Structure 1
Amino acid sequence: MIVAGSTMRGEETAILRAFARVKTTMVSAMLVLAPRHPERFGEVERIAREAGFVATRRSELPIDAEPRADVVVLDSMGELAQLYQLATAVFVGGSLVDHGGHNILEPAVFGKPIVFGPHMQNFTEIADAFVTNGAAVQVQTERELEEVLLGLLSDPVRRARLGAAARALVEANRGAKEKTLAVVADLVPPAASGAVVRPFRLVH
């Protein structure tokens, strides 16, 4: 399961095109799109359907049965961190378009392989540290996004290596005084201390 978090207008179409090519090789792959702005939930669902996918919203998922959707639009608040816990790979939005990116620390605390685009100027120091330490992959193009996602989904060893490096980098900087890294302590979710994650039946 790929989770694309905090996506912005213009990104979903590119992500869906890359995902379509992934699906030609890995037919069971699933994509969760989590738009940054709630008012775009319907728009993103429509975009996914127009791209040829079976799409549904998180709020419409069956409770006692596995969903049949290729694409799930996360239309609830406060669940993105839980989705990161379940993800096979994470794409951090706001980075394929010139928005400046979003925080990559949240998926990192779960030890997930992280991918983001070229526009990470709002988090330059953190993004550079993750790439330099082999804790994330930065892509420049839609085609490269496709290749990286397909590679991660088919290579559990690489996923584990990236995820472990991400988690290690978070731990190493937990006590840092730099403002950009001091937020790490606030990102560790209740689930890390034994809280039960609300059921989210997805096949990945």
Structure 2
Amino acid sequence: VNTDMLNQSSSTEEEVAWCRQQRSPEDFAAAVGPFILSLGLEDTGRNLVAPGCPESYYQTGVAYKDRPAWANGFGPFCPAREDEPPGKKPRTSEGRPRKYFISGVMLASKKKLKEDEGLVPQNYRQQIADALRKADPAAVVVDPLEAVKARAARSGVTIVDWNKDDAAVKSAFNDVVDMVRECDVIVSNLPEASMGSAVELWEARRAGLKIFTISPMADNWMLRSVT
């Protein structure tokens, strides 16, 4: 943090220049203050890195015997509330065919779902399915869009008709999220942000699925947290 004390301790022009590149006290307080206030008794003894600090400044903690990684040296800040549930293990197919969930942008940021202004192009779904089956001939591919279309068809309506009924939308969305939890792998195509896909990916993380994302949004925190 670029404080007066830090500047006074600098003896060369290079050190002074380095100090000026650091965050101001105001920026530091704005970023770190809420983080500190969010900590609880369960975080006692943890080595936590303040938000915004370069990872290169710290040595990643390494688990040793019965001591978890966060108790050995410095590591990326991880308060107790972000711990993985106890006993959680990666999902495996255990000899059965793997189930792959195809996630991705549908409506995107469009405000309305209309007959003449439908979903964004969905051809990526078939492309992903083809690639999965080529890599894993026994793959069971779960496409939520096809599942929702089939459900609407059984009711004698289209997705656009169904979209007018809040209860139907809620039920269908919950069913899609349930489908995620039953799979082993999720592949999400996100050329742009998608609120529905974000929920799918977060649930996939909670359920222990292997997660792959295809996206140009390299700085998106949610994608970086789950992929």
Greater strand share, structure number: 1
TM-score over 0.5 for the alignment? Answer: no
Larger Rg: 2
TM-score of the two chains, using structure 1 as the length reference: 0.37
